[in-house]
Structure 1
Amino acid sequence: MKRFYGILLALLLAVFAISAYASDTPLGAGDALKISVFGNPDLSLETKVSEAGNITFPLIGNVNVNGLSTSDAEKKISGLLIDGGFLRNAEVNILVTELQSQQVSILGQVLRPGRYPISGTRNVTDMLAVAGGVGPEGGDTATVVRTRDGKTTKQVINLVEMIQSSDMKENLTLINGDMVYVDRAPKFYIYGEVQHPGGYRLERNMTVVQALSIGGGLTPRGTERGLRVKRRDTSGSVQMIDVKNDEVLRPDDVVYVKESLF
Structure 2
Amino acid sequence: MNWMRELFKRALMAMVVLVCAAGAGAGTGLLTTAQAAEQNDYILGPGDAVRIAVYQNPDLSLEARLNEGGSISYPLLGNIKLGGISVSDAEKKIASGLKDGNFIKQPQVSVLLIGATANQVSVLGLVGKPGRYPLITGSNKLSEVMAMAGGITQGAGSDIVVISGVREGKPFRKEVDFTKVFASSGTEPDFTLQNGDTLFVDRAPQIYMYGEVQRAGAQILLRDTTLLQALANAGGLTLRGTQRGIKVHRRDPATGEVKIIEPGLNDKLMPQDIIYVKESLF
1:241 aligns with 2:261: yes
Query: What code does the residue aligned with 2:131 have?
Result: G
Name the amino acid aligned to 2:274. Answer: V
- The answer for the alignment partner of 2:153 in structure 1 is 135
More divergent stretch after superposition (144-153 vs 119-128): 144-153
TM-score, normalization by structure 2? 0.77
1:90–1:15 CA distance, 2 compared to 1 (3 A):
farther
- Cα separation, partners in 2 of 1:112 and 1:189, compared to 1, 3 Å: same
The answer to whether the 8 Å contact 1:75/1:92 transfers is yes
Structure 2 stretches of 5 or more lacking a match? 1-13, 22-30
Q: Residue 180 of structure 2 contacts residue 187 of structure 2 at CA under 8 Å; is this kept in 1?
A: no
1:56 and 2:73 are equivalent in the alignment: yes
**Cα distance in 2 between the residues matched to 1:200 and 1:183:** 16
Question: Are the aligned partners of 2:40 and 2:87 in contact in 1 as well (CA < 8 Å)?
Answer: yes
Q: Given the alignment, which residue of 207, 210, 229 partners 2:226?
A: 207
CA distance in 1, matches of 2:16, 2:102: 41
76, 81, 89: which is aligned to 1:72? 89
Between 28-37 and 250-259, report the one with greater CA deviation. 28-37
| Closer, same or farther: CA 80–176 of 1 in aligned 2, 3 Å | same
Aligned equivalents of 1:10, 1:72: Cα separation in 2: 19
Greater share of residues in strand: 1
Amino acid at match of 1:40: N
Q: CA deviation at 1:35?
A: 1.3
Q: Distance in 1 between matches of 2:221 and 2:61?
A: 59
How far has the Cα of 1:133 moved from its partner?
1.0
**TM superposition shift of 1:114:** 1.3
Inter-partner Cα distance in structure 2 for 1:254 and 1:172: 37
Shift of 1:199: 1.8
Candidates 168, 173, 186, aligned match of 1:167 = 186
**CA distance, structure 1, for counterparts of residue 75 and residue 263 of structure 2:** 78
SS of 2:190's partner is coil
TM-score for the superposition, normalised by structure 1: 0.82
Counterpart of 1:111 in structure 2 is: 128
In the alignment, which residue of structure 2 is the partner of 1:186?
205
Identity of aligned residues (%): 43
Please provide the CA RMSD for this pair. 3.0
